[in-house]
Amino acid sequence: MSNTNNSKPADFRKVSFTDPIPATVYYPGYLTPPQIATAYNLPASTGAGVKIGIFSLGGGFKQSDLNASFADLVAAGVLPSGTTAPTINQVLLDGETGVWGSYAPGDGENTLDIYCVATMVPNANITIYIGKYWETVFNRAVTDGCHIITMSWVNTEDAGDYLASYLATAEANKIAVIAAAGDWGSSIQSGTGLDALYPSSNPKVISVGGTKLTLNTADDSRDTETDDNRDPDYPSSWGGGGGVSKNYSLPSWQAGLHYTPIVSGTTGTSTPLTMRGVPDISAPMNTYVFYQDGTISGAGGTSASAPVMAGMLARIQALTGKQRSSAEYNALFYNHKSSFFDITVGTNNTQITSGYAGTVDWDPVTGLGPPIGNKVFQYMRNGLRPTSGSVFPNHKFDNRPTSGQVWPRTKTL
C-alpha cells in the first residue's frame, strides 16, 4: 500500500503575515470561501443532504477552530446570522489517532480543508477520513456512500496508479472525486522534471488548479484573477500545478485541445494534446485566513482550491438532486467552456525552467479557468437536453379556437 512517506500534504502553505496580523478571519486582502462564492456567482445553498468526504493522511483538527472561524464570519455578515459550524464527523483508520499535533502538516491540511468545505456548505454531512494509506482512506470514503470526495494530497505519477480500482468504483457509483493539482507548477517540489501529479492526473478525477483572485472590497465581486505563479506572498517556486500525463490516455472530453510548451525557458508553438491534461478547472490558491490551534492563521494552495470546488458541486447537487461522477462533470465542463473565466496569460515553469504557457481556451496552467457559477448551475440543472432532433412534446397547438364548441364535447346530441 502507498503511505504518507510517499506523498505530500498537497500543497498546504502556511503564510507568515507581512501585513498586520488580521483581527478576524474576515480581513481585506485575504480570502474566505463564502466571499469566493459571491465573486463566482455560485448558487446559494447550504448543501443539505449532500455527504462530503475529506481525504487525509494523518494529523488532527480542532472543532473549536471551526467554531471560531464561523463566529467571525457571522459577526462580519459574510455568513447569515444564526449560522453555526457543523460538527465534523471523524473516521480514524490504520491506527491513526486524529489527535492534534500527531502530524503537523496533516493538522494544517485538515483544518484548511474542513474550513473550506464547511463554510461553503454548512449543512452538508461532512466527514474527514484520517489514515496512513491512500487505499484504506479512499476506499472507506467510497464505501461510506460519500457523494463527493475532496483530496488535497499529491504524489508523482511514477508511484503508480494504486487507486485505480477504487476510482473505478467511485465512478460506477457516481461519486465525484476532486483533487488538488499541486503547488509546484510543472513539477513536484523536488523539481526533478515535468510531472502531472497523481491522483489529479487520473481521468476519473476532477483536477483543480490554482489562481490568484482579488476582490472588490465594496461588494466582494471579482475584480482581477490571474494565474498564481510566483505570487510575492510565497517563495518563487510557488505555482499552480499543471501538465500532461505520462500514463493516462486522452479522455474523450479533452479531444481536440492544444497546449503551448516551454522548454528550458523558451516558449514553443501550439501542440496537440495527446495524453490526459491537468488541471481541468481552477480556483483561488492565494491566502485564506482561518483559525488554527486557537489563533488566526493564513494558508493557501490548491489545498484550498480543491475543497472550495467540492463546496460548489455540493451546492449544485443539493439544488438539483442530481449526482454525477467526475467524468460526467468533466464532460459537461468541457462542453460548456464559456461557463468558466478563461485566464489566458501566465506560465507554470516555477520549479524548473520547462513547463507550460497560459493560452486562450484550456491550458495546463489554469485549465478551463475558475467557474462562472450561475452558468455552471444552469446546465447542471437542465441536464443534457438535446440540441437538435425530435423532442417531447413535439406537437404545436397554434391557432386554438377562441369561441365555439371545443373538445372534449360533453353535450350529447
In this predicted model, what pLDDT tens digit does every residue of 167-180 receive, in sequence order? 999 999 999 999 99
345 or 18: which leads in pLDDT: 345
What separation, in Å, do the N-terminal and C-terminal C-alpha atoms of the chain show?
84
CA dist., res. 149 & res. 397, Å (int): 47
Average pLDDT over residues 282-288: 94
**How do 288-292 and 295-300 pair as beta strands?**
antiparallel
Q: How far is CA 402 from the centre of its chain?
A: 55
pLDDT tens sequence across 23-40:
999 998 899 999 999 999
| Contact between 85 and 124 (Cβ < 8 Å) | no
Grid cell 364548441 is found at: 405
Convert the pLDDT of each residue in 211-258 to its tens digit.
Answer: 999 999 888 999 999 988 777 666 667 789 999 999 999 999 999 999
How many angstroms separate the CA atoms of 215 and 31, rounded? 9
By the 8 A CB rule, do 43 and 37 touch? no
Out of 12-26, 47-61, 273-287, least confident range: 12-26
Quickly state the pLDDT bin for 371 (edges 50, 70, 90). very high
CATH number of 4-382: 3.40.50.200
d(CA 343, CA 19): 28
Cis peptide before 122 (omega within 30 of 0): no
- Cell 360533453 identifies what position? 410
Task: Tell me the per-residue pLDDT of 184-210, one tens digit each, with 9 for 90 and over.
Answer: 899 987 778 999 999 999 999 999 999
**How do the domains of the chain map onto residue ranges?**
4-382
> Residue 88 gets which letter from DSSP?
P
* Predicted structure pTM score: 0.90
